[in-house]
A and B are shown apart, each in its own frame.
Chain A
Amino acid sequence: MMRDLHDIYVIARRELLERIKSKWFVAITLLGPIGMIAIIILPALFISRGEGTKVEIVDKTGVLAEPLKAALTQLRWKPEIVDPATPETREMDRIRDKQINGFLAVPADALDSGTVVYRGDNGASQLVQVLLRESIRLAIQVERGKREHIADATLLKLVAPPGFDAQQTDGKSAAAGAGSFWLGYAVAYVLLLVIMLYAVGVMRSVVQEKTSRVMELMVATIKPRSLMTGKILGVGLAGLIQVAVWLTMGAFTLAYRDQILGLFGATAGTGSLPSLAFGEIAVSLAFFFAGYFFYASMYAAVGAMVSSEQDTQQVQMPITVLLIVGFACMTVVSSDPRGSMATLVTMLPCWSPLLMPMRYLLGGAGVGEVAISLVILIASTVLIARAAAKIYRVGVLMYGKRPGLGELVRWLRY
Chain B
Amino acid sequence: MTGTSRMAATALVVRNVVKVFGNHRAVDDVSFEVPRGVVYGILGPNGAGKSTTLRMINDIYAPDAGEIVVLDGLRPGLEAAQRIGYLPEERGLYPKMKVADMIELIGELRGLARAEARRRAQRWLDRLGLAQWAGNKVQDLSKGMQQKVQFATALIHEPELVILDEPWSGLDPINAEVLREVVEEIRAAGRTVLFSTHQMEQAEKLVDRICIIARGQKLLEGSLSEIKRRAAADGLISLGFVDAAARAAAEPVLADRALVAEQRAPRAAELADCEVVLAGGATSSQLLAALLAAAATLRRFELVVPTLHQIFVERVGESAAVAERRPEAE
Interface residues of A (CB under 8 A from B): 3-4, 7, 10-11, 14, 18, 22, 209, 212-217, 219-223, 393, 397, 399-400, 414
Contacts and interface: CB of A to CB of B under 8 A. Distances in A.
B106 A217 contact: yes
B88 A217 contact: yes
Interface string B72-112: 00000010010000101111111111000000011011100
Pick the most buried of A14, A18, A215, A414: most chain B CB atoms within 10 A of its CB: A14
Given A217-B86, A399-B329, A212 B92 contact: yes
Contacts of B330: 400
B173 to A, nearest CB: 24
B62 interface: yes
B60 A216 contact: yes
Nearest to A3: B78
Contact of B90 (A3, A7, A11, A215): A215
Nearest to A220: B58
Nearest to B95: A212
Contacts of B90: 213, 215-217, 397
Contacts of A222: 78, 81, 109
A348 B176 CA distance: 58
A18 B96 contact: yes
Contacts of B110: 221
Contacts of A414: 61-62
Nearest to A18: B96
B92 A220 contact: no
Contacts of B329: 399-400
B153 interface: yes
B160 to A, nearest CB: 16
| Complex A-B, nearest 5 residue pairs according to Cβ-Cβ distance, in ascending order | A213-B92, A216-B88, A214-B92, A220-B58, A216-B90
A3 B109 CA distance: 9
A18 B109 contact: no
B109 A7 contact: yes
Contact of B92 (A4, A217, A400): A217
B184 interface: no
Contacts of B93: 212, 214, 217
B59 interface: yes
A399 B330 CA distance: 8
Given A216-B89, A221-B106, 20 more contacts: A4-B78, A10-B109, A18-B96, A22-B96, A209-B94, A213-B90, A214-B94, A215-B90, A216-B60, A217-B86, A217-B88, A217-B92, A217-B150, A217-B153, A220-B55, A220-B59, A220-B86, A393-B60, A397-B55, A397-B90
Given A212-B95, A213-B90, A10 B108 contact: yes
22 contacts: A4-B78, A10-B108, A10-B109, A18-B94, A18-B96, A22-B96, A212-B92, A212-B93, A214-B92, A214-B93, A215-B92, A216-B55, A216-B60, A216-B88, A217-B86, A217-B150, A220-B60, A221-B81, A221-B86, A221-B109, A397-B60, A400-B329
A18 B102 CA distance: 11
A213 B55 CA distance: 15
A212 B94 contact: yes
B124 to A, nearest CB: 15
Nearest to A399: B329
Contacts of B62: 414
B47 to A, nearest CB: 14
Given A220-B60, A397-B60, A414-B62, A10 B92 contact: no
Which of A22, A212, A219 has its CB near the most chain B CB atoms (within 10 A)?
A: A212
A290 B226 CA distance: 62
A100 B34 CA distance: 97
Nearest to A400: B329
Contacts of B150: 217
A304 B171 CA distance: 30
B88 A14 contact: no
Nearest to A394: B61
Contacts of B86: 217, 220-221
Contacts of B60: 216, 219-220, 393, 397
